[in-house]
Structure 1
Amino acid sequence: MLIEHRTYTVPHGTLDTYLKRYETQALPILLRHLERLLGCFVTEVGTLNQVLHIWVYDSMADREARRARLDADPEWQAFKEVNRGSFVEQNVMLLRAASFSPRRV
């Protein structure tokens, strides 16, 4: 199992606009290709104006295949153009559960 933890920081005052655009335009495309969204969260304390997306894959090969199909989708390419300039910062972490982890998705 592989967890992809994506953190996007958006400019102050744009969080609601970004979330609406993501929910209505990006999410249907992403779910079609990536399928396993564990959750989408926004920060309440700490670094504000951040959105965290957590996706689950069976393996690195599974992730690479799904992301390749996503990147080949013309609808996704069109969304990326609309979404261009939305982030101040982006961070992506790939995580695997330790053998003793109580939560194994």
Structure 2
Amino acid sequence: MIYEERDYRVKVGKLAEFVKLYGEYGLPLQKKYLGTFIAYFTTEIGELNHVVALWGYNSLDERAEKRKAMLADPAWQDYLARVTDLLDRQETRILTPVSYSPLQ
């Protein structure tokens, strides 16, 4: 299993709006198309205005196939139009657990 960590830096004062829109529009679509939904976090201490999402996939090929299907859905494009102006930066990492990690 591989894990995708998606880190979004949200514009100051827009975090609550972004989280609400994601819960209402983005997450239901992602659950429909993507891999295993692991977690969703906001930052409380340190660099603020961040959202971190974790998704699990069997492989990079599976991830690419599922994301391609989601990106083709007009409802996903509608969601992106709602949140694009709320974001400042996005980073994505693919993480592979070590042998003793509880997440395999």
Question: How high is the TM-score relative to the length of structure 2?
Answer: 0.94
Structure 2 unaligned residues grouped into runs of 5+: none
Whole-Å separation in 1 of the counterparts to 2:88 and 2:75 = 23
CA drift of 1:73 comes to: 0.8
In the alignment, which residue of structure 2 is the partner of 1:9?
A: 9
Structure 1's consecutive aligned runs of 4 or more residues displaced over 2 angstroms after TM superposition are none
Structure 1 unaligned residues grouped into runs of 5+: none
In the alignment, which residue of structure 2 is the partner of 1:102?
A: 101
Identity, in percent, stands at 30
Q: How many residues align?
A: 104
Counterpart residue identity of residue 101, structure 2 = P
SS of equivalent residue, structure 2 residue 65: helix
SS of equivalent residue, structure 1 residue 65: helix
Question: How high is the TM-score relative to the length of structure 1?
Answer: 0.93
